[in-house]
Amino acid sequence: MVHGGPAIVLAIDKRATVTAESRTDKKIWLRSKTIRAYGYFLSGKFHTEGEEKEAQKRLKPIYAVARNLMDLSGKDLGVNIEIESSIPAAAGLGSSAAVAVATAAALNHLWQAGLSRDDIFQVAFDAEKIVHGTPSGIDPAISTYGGVIQYTKGEKIKPLNIEVDLPLVIGDTMKERSTGEMVAQVNDLRRRYPSVIDNIIKAGGEIVARSVEALEAGDLDVLGVMMNMNHALLCAIGVSNEPLEKLVFAARRAGALGAKLTGAGGGGCMVALATAEKLKDIAEAIERDGGQAFITSKTMEGVRIEE
């Protein structure tokens, strides 16, 4: 959690792909089919056709990654960066972080910068601050390392050895939200009611500890209960909304073991844990209540290079 508590995060089988090639001029060309934005930076100034302000806002973090890699590798040239992603944008699934991680890895490989995975994580984390202000670092961490991790901001990432399958259904409200705005909203609530919010964060930490035990024991029933409790705490701090609640309760009615919002809330996605037999029923229930659903599961692989 951004606000100091621990969180469990897992990688799912959706990927962002970045293709990079050097240019002979100094232009940093960026094109994203997913968010329909393109243009180039030259001497720090952005150039595009169409809606310049929105395109610059969306592409600036990737430009920051490119500039950082240039400095680290000692390069002084241009680059073409092509972005494709199967991860819904602004939906609480770490889309921007996955793109930042993939960009850092692609440029590290292209320019032989010698960055470790830890370095790639840090470069992507720095870029995320441009998007979200004070992000937790969860999203670039899981995009870099994959698998299942326990994460607390400012502490060492703890990989979890989880053998049990985690059949999941993601439900997308298709309502974009701003992580930075949601974080600011909770910060304000914490400023006004510190003892109340701090106790909610503490309770969230207890839920994480019990969830780790359930994961390691392969006890999906207990994990589902913990997810439901965690969602209730997130409602208490004001980050859920009606579209998310509709999908969460649709999933539970259809037989989910647990269901909660994911990401910063305020829109975006929810996630439901299920038995394999119930996955289709839950996905259909989510879609009947106005969401877009897909079935997924954990993946152990993080960022990789494809030749």
What are the tens digits of pLDDT across the range 243-262?
999 999 999 999 999 999 99
The DSSP bridge partners found for residue 85 are: 16
Is 90 exceeded by the pLDDT of residue 183?
Answer: no
Q: Residue 74 belongs to a domain with what CATH number?
A: 3.30.230.10
With b for 16 or more beta-carbon neighbours within 10 A and e for fewer, the 98-111 pattern comes to: bbbbbbbbbbbebb
With respect to residue 3, please indicate whether it lies within any of the assigned structural domains.
Answer: no
Helix (H) or strand (E) holding 166: none
Asked if 102 and 174 sit in the same domain, the reply is no
With respect to residue 305, please indicate whether it lies within any of the assigned structural domains.
Answer: no
Domain range enclosing 25? 9-151
With respect to residue 4, please indicate whether it lies within any of the assigned structural domains.
Answer: no
Which one of 151, 177, 193 terminates a domain?
151
139 flagged as catalytic: yes
Asked if 103 and 194 sit in the same domain, the reply is no
Is 80 exceeded by the pLDDT of residue 51?
Answer: no
Asked if 184 and 117 sit in the same domain, the reply is no
Is 90 exceeded by the pLDDT of residue 263?
Answer: no
User: What's the pTM value of the predicted model, to 2 decimals?
Assistant: 0.87
Q: Residue 266 belongs to a domain with what CATH number?
A: 3.30.70.890
Which amino acid is residue 281, in one-letter code? Answer: D
Q: Dihedral of CA 199/204/205/209: which sign?
A: positive
Asked if 146 and 200 sit in the same domain, the reply is no
Helix (H) or strand (E) holding 93: none
Asked if 140 and 192 sit in the same domain, the reply is no
Which of 13, 119, 139, 219 is labelled catalytic? 139
pLDDT band (50, 70, 90) for residue 53: confident
Which one of 88, 118, 151 terminates a domain?
151
Residue 223, Cβ density class (10 Å: 0-12 exposed, 13-18 middle, ≥19 buried): buried
Distance in angstroms (rounded) separating the CA atoms of residues 201 and 246: 24
Q: What is the pLDDT of residue 4?
A: 66
With respect to residue 307, please indicate whether it lies within any of the assigned structural domains.
Answer: no
Q: What is the pLDDT of residue 5?
A: 79
Distance in angstroms (rounded) separating the CA atoms of residues 199 and 262: 21
169 φ, ψ to 5°? -120, 130
Is 70 exceeded by the pLDDT of residue 235?
Answer: yes
Asked if 90 and 200 sit in the same domain, the reply is no
Angle CA(22)–CA(124)–CA(175) in degrees, nearest 5?
A: 110
Percent of the chain with pLDDT over 70: 98
pLDDT band (50, 70, 90) for residue 182: confident
With respect to residue 302, please indicate whether it lies within any of the assigned structural domains.
Answer: no
pLDDT greater at residue 3 or residue 34: 34
Distance in angstroms (rounded) separating the CA atoms of residues 133 and 135: 6
Distance in angstroms (rounded) separating the CA atoms of residues 182 and 264: 6
Distance in angstroms (rounded) separating the CA atoms of residues 35 and 33: 6
Residue 49, Cβ density class (10 Å: 0-12 exposed, 13-18 middle, ≥19 buried): exposed
Asked if 15 and 147 sit in the same domain, the reply is yes
In this structure, are residues 215 and 162 in contact, taking their beta carbons and an 8 Å threshold?
yes
Asked if 168 and 147 sit in the same domain, the reply is no
Q: What is the pLDDT of residue 37?
A: 86
Residue 285 CB neighbour total at 10 angstroms: 24
Q: What is the pLDDT of residue 156?
A: 87
Q: Report the domain count for the chain.
A: 2
Compute the average pLDDT of residues 150-158. 88
Is 70 exceeded by the pLDDT of residue 1?
Answer: no
Asked if 116 and 207 sit in the same domain, the reply is no
Which amino acid is residue 143, in one-letter code? Answer: S
Is 70 exceeded by the pLDDT of residue 99?
Answer: yes
Asked if 146 and 171 sit in the same domain, the reply is no
Q: What is the pLDDT of residue 176?
A: 79
With respect to residue 257, please indicate whether it lies within any of the assigned structural domains.
Answer: yes
Asked if 136 and 202 sit in the same domain, the reply is no
pLDDT band (50, 70, 90) for residue 3: low
Q: Which of 84-93, 239-248, 257-266 has the lowest mean pLDDT?
A: 84-93
Question: Crossing angle for the helix pair 179-192 and 194-217, nearest 10 degrees?
Answer: 120
Is 90 exceeded by the pLDDT of residue 181?
Answer: no
With respect to residue 306, please indicate whether it lies within any of the assigned structural domains.
Answer: no
Q: What is the pLDDT of residue 68?
A: 93
Percent of the chain with pLDDT over 90: 70
- 105-147 confidence digits (pLDDT tens): 999 999 999 999 999 999 999 998 887 777 778 899 999 999 9
pLDDT greater at residue 262 or residue 181: 262
The CA–CA distances, whole Å, from 223 to 89, 107, 250, 251, 270 equal 27, 39, 19, 15, 16
With respect to residue 1, please indicate whether it lies within any of the assigned structural domains.
Answer: no
The DSSP annotation for 101-145 comes to: HHHHHHHHHHTT----HHHHHHHHHHHHHHHHSS--SHHHHHHHH
The DSSP bridge partners found for residue 19 are: 82
Which one of 104, 129, 151 terminates a domain?
151
Nearest to 79 by CA among 120, 27, 19: 27
Compute the average pLDDT of residues 61-81. 93
Q: What is the pLDDT of residue 50?
A: 66
Q: What is the pLDDT of residue 173?
A: 95
Q: What is the pLDDT of residue 31?
A: 93
Asked if 54 and 139 sit in the same domain, the reply is yes
